[in-house]
C-alpha cells in the first residue's frame, strides 16, 4: 500500500494551526505565504501496524505522519521539494515489517525510513536500514534498538525505552508502596517490550529494595483473547504489588474490571499506552488507582500542544494519542536535520541529527550523539474516571526525569561491538 500524503485534503483547512504546532511556535505568529514545492519529491517510507495486535497505536502513527507531511508540502516543502509519504502495513509481524523495509529502501528507494512502535519489529528493520545505508527513525520501546543493537543509521526520539519504563515504575513503587509489603508479581505481554520492561523493573526494584520477593509471573500473548486464568492466578497469589506491561491492555482491563484489582493490591507500570487506553474504556473497566504512563494530551500545557490537539481534533474528531506525539517529535527532528544539513544526503543528515536540540510539542528535546537516543519527557499518574469528560484519565500526574534512566556513554560503548 502506498499513500501519497499530498492527497490528505481534509486537513488543508487547518494548516495554519498545524504549522504552528509542527514548528512549536506561538499560534498567533504570522506565517509568510509559501511557494509551492517543486522538483523531484523527497520520499519518506513509513512502516506502521495498521492491522494486527498493535493497530490501535499504528493507526495513530500513520494519521499523524500524513497530517504533518501535508503541512510540510503546504508550507513550501522540504528544501523547496515536495515530500511523498509511502506507507506500508507491518500487520504487527516482524516478517512483514522487514519485507516492507527492504522494498521501501531498495525498490522504492526512499530517502528516509520511519517505523512505528512495535518493539518486536524495530531491531530487524534497523538492520535493513543499516544494510541499505539509510536513516531510520523508530518509536519502538525496545531498549536494545539504541543499546546493544544500535548502529549509525538508526535513531529514536521518544525516551520510552523498556529500561526507562521499567526503572521509572520501580522507583515509583519504592517511593510509594513500601508500606504495602515485599511480595511482587509481574504480568506482561509475551514479546520484546513486555520481557525487557519486566527485566528492567526487576533489576531496579531489587537494587532499591533487596527485600522484595517476586512470587510469580505471567506472560499472556500479545493478542490474548481470554485473561480469565491470568486474573484468577493473580488474585490467588495474593501479592502486595503487581507490575504490568502490555502490548495492548484494553482486553485485560475490560475483563478484570469486575474484580476491582487495584483495591486488592497496588498496581504499577510506566507503560506508555495507559493514558490512551483509559480514554476508550467504559467507566466500569477503568482500573481506578492503578499507576500508568503516557503522553496525556490534556496535561501538556504549552501553545504548541494546544495547536496540535486542535489540528488533530479537526482532522479526526478525537484528540491525539501518545504515538501521535512520538511521530510529531520524530518528524520535527527529521525536518530540522534536513534543513540544517541543506541536503538529504545520508551522512550529512546523520551528522545534523546527532546532538540536535529543539523545542517540541512536548517540551525541550535533544538527541544524544553517541547512541542516537532522544530525551523526551514522560508522564505517569493514577487511573481515574473524569465525570466531566466522561472518560478515564491520569490523575496526580508527575513528569518523570527520564534522562536519569538512560545508560551512560561508557555503558553504551561497552554494549556495542567495535
User: For residue 347, what are the contacts with CB-CB under 8 A and spacing of at least 6?
Assistant: none
Looking at the DSSP assignment, which residues form a beta bridge with residue 167?
none
| Average pLDDT of the segment spanning 346-359 | 98
The bridge status of strand 391-400 relative to strand 378-386 is antiparallel
**2 band by pLDDT with thresholds 50, 70 and 90:** very low
Q: Which CATH superfamily is domain 5-159+300-376 in?
A: Response regulator (3.40.50.2300)
pLDDT exceeds cutoff 50 at 106: yes
User: For the chain, what are the domain ranges?
Assistant: 5-159+300-376, 162-298+378-409
CA gap 402, 51 in Å, rounded: 31
Residue 7's Cβ-count burial label (10 Å; 0-12, 13-18, 19+) is: exposed
| Average pLDDT of the segment spanning 69-74 | 96
Is there a contact between 110 and 133 (Cβ–Cβ < 8 Å)? no
**32 band by pLDDT with thresholds 50, 70 and 90:** low
User: What is the number of other CB atoms lying within 10 angstroms of the CB of residue 366?
Assistant: 16
Q: Do domains 5-159+300-376 and 162-298+378-409 have the same CATH topology?
A: yes
- Give per-residue pLDDT as tens, 263-304: 999 999 988 889 999 999 999 999 999 999 999 999 999 999
Packing angle between helix 15-23 and helix 303-316, nearest 10 degrees?
Answer: 140
**139 band by pLDDT with thresholds 50, 70 and 90:** very high
Is there a contact between 237 and 214 (Cβ–Cβ < 8 Å)? no
CA 414 to centroid of chain Cα atoms: 26
CA gap 87, 78 in Å, rounded: 19
Query: Taking the model in full, what pTM does it have?
Result: 0.91
CA gap 102, 339 in Å, rounded: 26
Beta strands across the sheet bearing 154-155: 83-89, 42-48, 112-115, 135-138, 154-155
Q: Does domain 162-298+378-409 have CATH number 3.40.50.2300?
A: yes
Amino acid at each position: 500500500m502506498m499513500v501519497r500524503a499530498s492527497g490528505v485534503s481534509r486537513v488543508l483547512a487547518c494548516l495554519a494551526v498545524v504549522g504552528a504546532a509542527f514548528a512549536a511556535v506561538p499560534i498567533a505568529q504570522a506565517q509568510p505565504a509559501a511557494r509551492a514545492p517543486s522538483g523531484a519529491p523527497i520520499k519518506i517510507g513509513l512502516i506502521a501496524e495498521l492491522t494486527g495486535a498493535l493497530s490501535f497505536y499504528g493507526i495513530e502513527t500513520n494519521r499523524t505522519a500524513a497530517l504533518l507531511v501535508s503541512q510540510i508540502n503546504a508550507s513550501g516543502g522540504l528544501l523547496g521539494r515536495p515530500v511523498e509519504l509511502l506507507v506500508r502495513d507491518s500487520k504487527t509481524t516482524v516478517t512483514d515489517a522487514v519485507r516492507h523495509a527492504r522494498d521501501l529502501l531498495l525498490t522504492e528507494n526512499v530517502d528516509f525510513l520511519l517505523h512505528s512502535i512495535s518493539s518486536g519489529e524495530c531491531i530487524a528493520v534497523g538492520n535493513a536500514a543499516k544494510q541499505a545505508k539509510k536513516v531510520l527513525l523508530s518509536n519502538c520501546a525496545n531498549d536494545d534498538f539504541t543499546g546493544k543493537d544500535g548502529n549509525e543509521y538508526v535513531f529514536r526520539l521518544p525516551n520510552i525505552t523498556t529500561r526507562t519504563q521499567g526503572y521509572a515504575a520501580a522507583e515509583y513503587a519504592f517511593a510509594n508502596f513500601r508500606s504495602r509489603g515485599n511480595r511482587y508479581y509481574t504480568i506482561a505481554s509475551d514479546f520484546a517490550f513486555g520481557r525487557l520492561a519486566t527485566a528492567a523493573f526487576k533489576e531496579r526494584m531489587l537494587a532499591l529494595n533487596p527485600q522484595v520477593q517476586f512470587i510469580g509471573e505471567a506472560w499472556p500473548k500479545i493478542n490474548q483473547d481470554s485473561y480469565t486464568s491470568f486474573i484468577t492466578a493473580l488474585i490467588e497469589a495474593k501479592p502486595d504489588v503487581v507490575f504490568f506491561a502490555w502490548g495492548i491492555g484494553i482486553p485485560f482491563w475490560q475483563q478484570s474490571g469486575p474484580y476491582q484489582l487495584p483495591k486488592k493490591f497496588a498496581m504499577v507500570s510506566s507503560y506508555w499506552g495507559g493514558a490512551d487506553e483509559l480514554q476508550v474504556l467504559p467507566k466500569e473497566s477503568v482500573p481506578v488507582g492503578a499507576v500508568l504512563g503516557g503522553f496525556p494530551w490534556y496535561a501538556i500545557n504549552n501553545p504548541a500542544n494546544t495547536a496540535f490537539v486542535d489540528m488533530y481534533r479537526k482532522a479526526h474528531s478525537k484528540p491525539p494519542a501518545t504515538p501521535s506525539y512520538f511521530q510529531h517529535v520524530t518528524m520535527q527532528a527529521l525536518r530540522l536535520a534536513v534543513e540544517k544539513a541543506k541536503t538529504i544526503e545520508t551522512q550529512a543528515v546523520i551528522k545534523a541529527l546527532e546532538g540536535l536540540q529543539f523545542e517540541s510539542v512536548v517540551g525541550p528535546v535533544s538527541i544524544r550523539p553517541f547512541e542516537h537516543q532522544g530525551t523526551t519527557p514522560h508522564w505517569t499518574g493514577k487511573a481515574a474516571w473524569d465525570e466531566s469528560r466522561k472518560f478515564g484519565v491520569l490523575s496526580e500526574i508527575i513528569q518523570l526525569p527520564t534522562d536519569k534512566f538512560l545508560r551512560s556513554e561508557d555503558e553504551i560503548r561497552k554494549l556495542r561491538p567495535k
